[in-house]
Amino acid sequence: EAGVTQFPSHSVIEKGQTVTLRCDPISGHDNLYWYRRVMGKEIKFLLHFVKESKQDESGMPNNRFLAERTGGTYSTLKVQPAELEDSGVYFCASTPSVGDRRSSGRAHEQFFGPGTRLTVL
């Protein structure tokens, strides 16, 4: 079973530019999460999708951030325009749905991708 994948692994952009991060969850996982770790700080929740719907977007920092999950498969996180403080590592995670037999024994476990390191200059 392939894990959660994220693209790109690194991105370096200038302030004011736009960047789009992509996350491919484990196949069949309905729940998809975005987190961010700013250097020296803790990993912070950004938002949670259930299929294509935003279940919780309480962690989104401002309206420069736009997350989508069309079709309930992969997700994108766009930052437009990027600011210096947006630099950090962006993690994506996924979990299967309640009642999914594949979740047996792995309940409540969020499977994380390797992250995208974003540097805004």
CB of 48 to another protein, least distance (A): 6
CB of 104 to another protein, least distance (A): 13
Token representation of residue 1: 């079973």
Could you give the CA distance from residue 97 to residue 105 in angstroms, rounded to a whole number? 13
Q: Which residue type sits at 102?
A: R
Task: Give residues in contact with another protein (CB under 8 A).
Answer: 3-4, 31, 33, 35, 41-45, 48, 50, 56, 58-59, 91, 93, 95, 97-98, 107-110, 112-115
Whose tokens are 């390191």? That residue is 117
Between 7 and 17, name the residue whose CB sits nearer to another protein. Answer: 7
Between 13 and 50, name the residue whose CB sits nearer to another protein. Answer: 50
37, containing H or E segment = strand 31-37
